[in-house]
Structure 1
């Protein structure tokens, strides 16, 4: 659990803004409810679940070592993502149960066709920012 002020700061670190559409996957009893509430407060909307078929600006993926195959999950989360959308893989910090090695996230992202651009500390969780590679769009 984090303090509400920290949670607001974390939302800012995630680049989530008012009117962003955020889909949350991997919720469980260990997820950070303060962070989730702060995201909803900033965006002005509820987090979408895995059953949503809306185009989203951000996918918030809570991921633990015991959750299975990260590559498969990342390939699934890309489909609802807006062209300039972001996937945040949130994993338990080093030393916490179910921690995921950063190298595993980077390798899984590459295999799924994503690029890891940064990582940020979110209290008991570490957020890894993944984006779709820029395509060679013709200039106008």
Structure 2
């Protein structure tokens, strides 16, 4: 990925995502359209590989790749809570507006509320992807 106005630098991405070395991060919804540079950057931040969606580990964060048409977003958000450490973030990565699979921000907000989560922030994380940080309502 070449640097552009809508793709953050590695250092600013590190600050935004707030992943640190040694964390266990689960990835859900991987497909051939995910941003591989973003995945690589996350693995660099944590110093290891992302755990797949079948992991039984208790994780420090979840990255959920989600596109319109992937199914029920609320159910997917509830599933992210299965192995997550209390207070850990869930990052929902969705295609940006105008890209195939774009998810309306209101749909994310509504699904998060039903799932017992709240939207904390949304940021550009890659050329074609927006990251929405969710947290449990108790945080």
TM-score using structure 1 length: 0.89
Residues 38-57 of structure 1, C-alpha deviation per residue, up to 9 Å, x if partnerless?
11112111100011011111
Residues 86-120 of structure 1, C-alpha deviation per residue, up to 9 Å, x if partnerless?
00000000011110000000000000011111111
* Equivalent of 1:134 in 111, 131, 138: 138
- Consecutive unaligned residues in structure 1, runs of 5 or more: 136-140
Q: Do residues 115 (structure 1) and 118 (structure 2) align?
A: yes
Q: Which has the higher contact order (CA 8 A, sep 6+)?
A: 2
Higher relative strand content: 1
Question: 1:2 touches 1:32 (CA, 8 Å); kept in 2?
Answer: no
Question: 1:20 touches 1:56 (CA, 8 Å); kept in 2?
Answer: yes
Aligned to 1:73: 76
In 1: Cα distance, 2:2 partner to 2:72 partner: 28
Q: How many residues align?
A: 135
Aligned to 1:125: 129
- 1:1-140 to 2 correspondences below 5 Å: 1=1, 3=3, 6-123=9-126, 124-134=128-138
CA radius of gyration, larger in: 1
In 2: Cα distance, 1:68 partner to 1:98 partner: 12
TM-score using structure 2 length: 0.90
In 2: Cα distance, 1:129 partner to 1:11 partner: 14
In 2: Cα distance, 1:58 partner to 1:106 partner: 19
